[in-house]
Structure 1
Amino acid sequence: MNQLQKVENYVFNLFKDNLSFDYTYHNFMHTTMVVEAAKTLINKYDLNENQTQNIIMAAWLHDTGYTLSINEHEKHSAEIAKRYLTENLFSDESINEILGLILTTELKYVPQSISESIIRDADSFHLGHTDYNKFAELLRIEIKKVYQKEFSDFEWHQENRNFFINHHRYYTDAAKELWQNQKDINLMSIQSKINEIELVGESLNKYELKKKKNDKAQQMDRGVDTLFRVTLSNHTRLSDIADSKANILLSVNAIIISIALSTLIPKLSAPKNEYLIIPSCVLLVASVASIIFAILSTKPNVTYENFTEEDLQKRKVNLLFFGNFYQMSLDSYEEAMNELMKDRDYVYNSLTRDLYYLGKVLERKYRLLSVTYTIFMIGTILSVLAFGIALFMNN
């Protein structure tokens, strides 16, 4: 078994026993492909046997440092390589050259010889490979697992584009001849993906902006709907309360009049009861007046707008209140309502008018109810005083 076969077995076992499965890119398969890329480049140049062996040895050992740590893995690889090469009786000259080649794979290092350029270009062969996207995705998974860092598609493509343009170049003419053209194609593919995401993002931003506006409009609509619903409900409840109060006064005064007519009035014809005539009249007048105003407050009061066909076409008519449309034909009303339902502003304007006229009806109802209670209160006081004075004077 020669030295190259021996180092291949060593690296295979080292990775098998010590390399985490999180390294989906920097593993034995990647190392094998770097070795093959290095051999391809070596064949393009007239190198001696010692140079060839040192480059291939460096290619096999250049990523062994990942078994110790991802940080400064080139230095760790050099340490592992030095230990292995020393144990296998390599000359000091060969050891130093191989270690130098391994350290050459550090990203910021600029190669100084053809051997350094070959190992450096071989290590980045994948940038000019037709399967670049597969290699890049394996590296993306590795970064996520090892560094706990996750990229969006857009961020990942930007990182790759930046690396292609600002942090990488092929140093050997052979690498440029073999891989530069495909590298340029891969770069254009990356840029195309970035452009596509930007276009989709721009469209998405417009959609989200439009959606936010629509959501805001819908929230406003819901708020306005709630406003009208609550306000109309409150007005209807106030109207019911007013009717209930008026009904109470109607019942009370009706009872008073019934009792007066059945028991008090028949006794006033007797001379001895003449002193009760005035108090009885005061009581009856107050009760009758209270009943009249209570009836007026509960009497239906239909408010309506006088409108023309032109007002209807200009959408100035409240079609939600029967007092405005009861004289319209069914066809005209259906047509007008269809137009109403198409226009949100027209709906809100109609609800506003409906609320306004309902408020006008409520104002009249509560004003008359207030007069009714005032008459009932004053009439009751005057009646009691009149009966008291009459009884006092009679005695």
Structure 2
Amino acid sequence: MSDILSKTEEYVTELLTNELDKNFLYHNLRHTQRVVKSTKELLDNFDLKAKEREAIHLAAWLHDTGYTKGIAEHEKNSCAIAKEFLTERNYDTEGVQLVCSLIMATMRTHSPKNLLEEIIRDADSSHLGQSSYVQTSEMLREELSLLGVAEFNQKQWRKANIKMFQTEHRFYTDYARENWQSGKDSNLKKLVKARKKQQKTFRKEALKVKLKNNSPERGIQTMYRVTMRNHLKLSDIADTKANILLSVNAIIISLLLTNLIPKLDNPSNDYLIYPTGIFVLFSVASMIMSVLATRPNITSGEFNKEDVKNKKVNLLFFGNFHKMKLPDYEWAMQELIKDQSYLYSNLTKDLYFLGVVLNTKYKLLRWTYTIFMIGMILSVIAFFVALKFYGPERALIELPT
């Protein structure tokens, strides 16, 4: 390696390491080193003058130094940096001009005019034929995003890359076409395959969504599921309310049995018999009604094959099959699954009879609360009347003197 090349390598390495924005994930020292390596590989297969070989090497090292001053017109900035660096080291003017022309040849819009420009262009785009292209390309996409140049999602970036492969890029030198084109074609195939796979997946998902939204089956299933859930919630609420009344009345009766009723043996407390009786009577009635509201009803639990064939039995309610043998029930369920109308009929029956049970529960519950409320009111009135007109003080007044 000549003295100027070693100095250039040292200079570019220090410049890109210390002064380049860290958001340049692609256009950085690694990219420059990759271009230099590809340049050497190309030059080994061409018989060029020593001065030309040196100029291409220098251009490969210096072609992206302009990114240290920003993205805009980075080729011109690279050229300016190269001129300043080479001039300070007394590099000949003709050589400086050649290096700058090669740097400017790396512009995407530039068409190579000679072999030297073709070599630097092929070296600069050699990554398109390498197996690491996918990772390299992803770094460029991320770089564009971080620098605020452009935002691409995976689909858009893949489309842009395919377009670039097919219409915007080509290798110019014979060596690049013979050795790197196959890798480029392989990468293009991967991109196209990934696009087709994504399109196929997208179509499948779109079809699923369309079928899901347009299928009447989904609407029917949702209707049954929501209605069943609402029925079960109402049943739970009814049971909870009945249990509350049952517990309250049980506590009331327990207190009466332990505190009030034993005192009724005393003749002076006779005036409390009727109020206490009313209180106990209505409390017991409320308890009985609460029990009736929560008491389960169990049906026969059996059916025969004729009932299934004639679609007379609801196989979804446990009360209709709990006494059946497992093989008979499995057969019946298979028959149910085969016939969609029978299945919906069973679901409808299940909802209907659950609604009937709910109606019974809520009627009993309404009467229970009514009885409890009336009992409480009458009991309070009775105790008040008994204490006012028949209490201990009244009894003492009526005793003979």
Q: TM-score range by the shorter chain?
A: 0.5 to 0.7
Q: CA deviation at 1:185?
A: 1.9
Instruction: Name the counterpart of 1:135.
Output: 136
Amino acid at match of 1:348: L
Contact 1:157 1:190 in 2 (8 A): yes
1:174 maps to 175
Conservation of the 8 A alpha-carbon contact between 1:58 and 1:101: yes
For residue 348 of structure 1, what is the aligned residue in structure 2?
A: 347
Please point out which of 220, 224, 232 is paired with 1:221.
224
Q: Does structure 1 retain, via aligned residues, the 8 Å contact 2:224–2:347?
A: no
Q: Report what 1:284 is aligned to.
A: none
CA root-mean-square deviation: 5.0
Asked whether the 8 Å contact 1:320–1:354 carries over to 2, the reply is no
Q: 5 Å matches for 1:143-182?
A: 143-147=144-148, 151-182=152-183
Equivalent residue letter for 2:29? F
Residue 123 of structure 1 deviates from its aligned partner by: 0.4
Distance 1:330 1:122, change over 3 A: closer
The Cα of 1:314 is off from its aligned counterpart by 3.2
**Which residue of 2 is the match for residue 331 of structure 1?**
324
Structure 2 vs 1, CA of residues 79 and 348 (structure 1 numbering), >3 Å: closer, same or farther?
Answer: same
CA shift at 1:14, angstroms? 0.9
Kindly state the Cα deviation for residue 141 of structure 1 after the two structures are TM-superposed: 4.0
Structure 2 residue matching 1:74: 3-state secondary structure = helix
Give the whole-Å Cα distance in 1 for the aligned partners of 2:102 and 2:53. Answer: 12
Q: TM-score, normalised by structure 2?
A: 0.60
Conserved? CA contact 2:9–2:61, under 8 Å: yes
Question: What is the aligned partner in structure 2 of residue 45 from structure 1?
Answer: 46
Q: CA deviation at 1:159?
A: 3.0
Q: Find the counterpart in structure 1 of residue 273 from structure 2.
A: none
Task: Give the CA deviation at 1:64.
Answer: 0.3
What's the secondary structure of 1:331's corresponding residue? coil
| Matched letter for residue 60 of structure 2 | A
Instruction: Please say if residues 316 and 347 of structure 2, whose CA atoms lie closer than 8 Å, have aligned partners that are also in contact.
Output: no
Output aligned runs, 1:247-262, within 5 Å: none
The question of whether the paired residues in 2 share the 8 Å contact of 1:340 and 1:347 is answered with: no
Equivalents in 2 of 1:222, 1:101: separation in Å?
A: 73
- Aligned 1:304-383 pairs, distance under 5 A: 312-317=308-313, 330-331=323-324, 335=328, 339=332, 344-354=343-353
Q: Distance in 1 between matches of 2:99 and 2:140?
A: 26
Q: In 2, distance between residues paired with 1:83 and 1:215?
A: 73
1:233-284 deviations in Å (ceiling 9; x for gaps): 89999xxxxxxxxxxxxxxxxxxxxxxxxxxxxxxxxxxxxxxxxxxxxxxx
Deviation for aligned residue 1:190: 2.4
The alpha-carbon deviation at position 317 of structure 1 amounts to 4.5
Structure 1 residues 74, 358: closer, same or farther in 2, change over 3 A? Answer: same
Match of 2:56 in 1: 55
Q: Does 1:101 align with 2:102?
A: yes
The 3 A distance-change label for structure 1 pair 10 and 356 is closer
Return the alpha-carbon distance in structure 1 between the equivalents of residues 120 and 354 of structure 2: 85
Q: Is the 8 A contact 1:319 1:337 kept in 2?
A: no
Q: Which runs of 5+ in 1 are unaligned?
A: 238-297, 366-395
Q: 1:185-209 CA deviation, whole Å, 9 max, x = no partner?
A: 2222222333333444445555666
The residue type equivalent to 2:40 in the other structure is: K
TM-fit CA distance, 1:37: 1.8
Superposition TM-score, scaled by structure 1 size: 0.61
Structure 1 position 45, deviation (Å): 3.0
**Greater radius of gyration (CA):** 1
Unaligned 5+ residue runs, structure 2?
A: 241-291, 338-342, 365-401
Q: Which amino acid aligns with 2:6?
A: Q
Return the alpha-carbon distance in structure 2 between the equivalents of residues 69 and 32 of structure 1. Answer: 20
User: 8 Å contact 2:234–2:358 — kept in the other structure?
Assistant: no
| Structure 1 position 18, deviation (Å) | 0.3
Q: Deviations over 1:20-68 (max 9, x none)?
A: 2332322222212212322332333333233222222211110001111
SS in 1 for 2:180: helix
SS in 1 for 2:110: coil
Decide which moves more: 24-33 or 44-53: 44-53
Q: 2-side partners of 1:31 and 1:359: how far apart?
A: 79
CA distance in 2, matches of 1:71, 1:329: 81
Distance, in Å, in 2 between the alignment partners of 1:217 and 1:76 is: 69
Structure 1 pair 51–336 and aligned structure 2 pair: CA distance change class (3 A): closer
Identity percentage of aligned residues: 32
Query: How many positions carry a matched residue from both structures?
Result: 314
Structure 1 residues 329 and 115: CA distance shift in structure 2, 3 A: closer
Over 3 Å counting, the alpha-carbon distance change for 1:109 and 1:317 in structure 2 is same
CA distance in 2, matches of 1:126, 1:142: 16
Letter in 2 for 1:315: K
Distance in 2 separating the partners of 1:23 and 1:339: 70
What SS does the corresponding residue of 1:106 show, helix, strand or coil? coil
Cα-to-partner distance string for 1:329-387 (whole Å, 9 max, x where unaligned):
9439995798479665133321354368679999xx9xxxxxxxxxxxxxxxxxxxxxx
Asked whether the 8 Å contact 1:57–1:98 carries over to 2, the reply is: yes
Asked whether the equivalents of residues 65 and 77 of structure 1 are also in contact (C-alpha less than 8 Å), the reply is: yes
